Amino acid sequence: MAENDSGSKPVETFESCLDELEKVVKELEAGDLSLERSLELFERGMSLSDTCRRQLEAAETRVEMLIRKDGKMTAEPFRPNDKSGS
């Protein structure tokens, strides 16, 4: 993992966050955890979820900025299920 500009905390990739989040969820779903461990995992999961969300929003913004319409760069929401080809 790379360091961020402040050097205080490593920057986690989307993929690494998602992998760790999946592990957290599996451990929580398995049960047989103490309340303290469950809370620790829940807090970590929420942090990972927030990191993934922010990274997805940043990626969406980049996609919107790159879409061109009529020769001009215009922001347009990314719609992965849009089959109309517009």
User: How many Å apart are CA 85 and CA 24, to the nearest integer?
Assistant: 38
Beta pairing, strands 2-3 & 10-11: antiparallel
Query: Does any domain span residue 56?
Result: yes
45-68 per-position pLDDT tens digit: 999 999 999 999 999 888 877 776
CATH code of the domain covering residue 34: 1.10.287
Task: Round the average pLDDT of the chain to a whole number and report it.
Answer: 80
Q: Is the pLDDT of residue 5 over 50?
A: no
The boundaries of the domain holding residue 51 are 10-73
Instruction: Report yes or no on whether pTM surpasses 0.75.
Output: no
- Average pLDDT of 2-28? 77
Domains contained in the chain, number: 1
Query: Does any domain span residue 40?
Result: yes
Residue 24's CB is within 10 A of a number of other CB atoms, namely 20
How much of the chain, in percent, has pLDDT values that exceed 90?
Answer: 52
Size of the chain in residues: 86
To which H or E segment does residue 84 belong? Answer: none
Given this model, what pLDDT does residue 52 score? 96
Contact at 8 Å (CB) between 48 and 28?
A: no
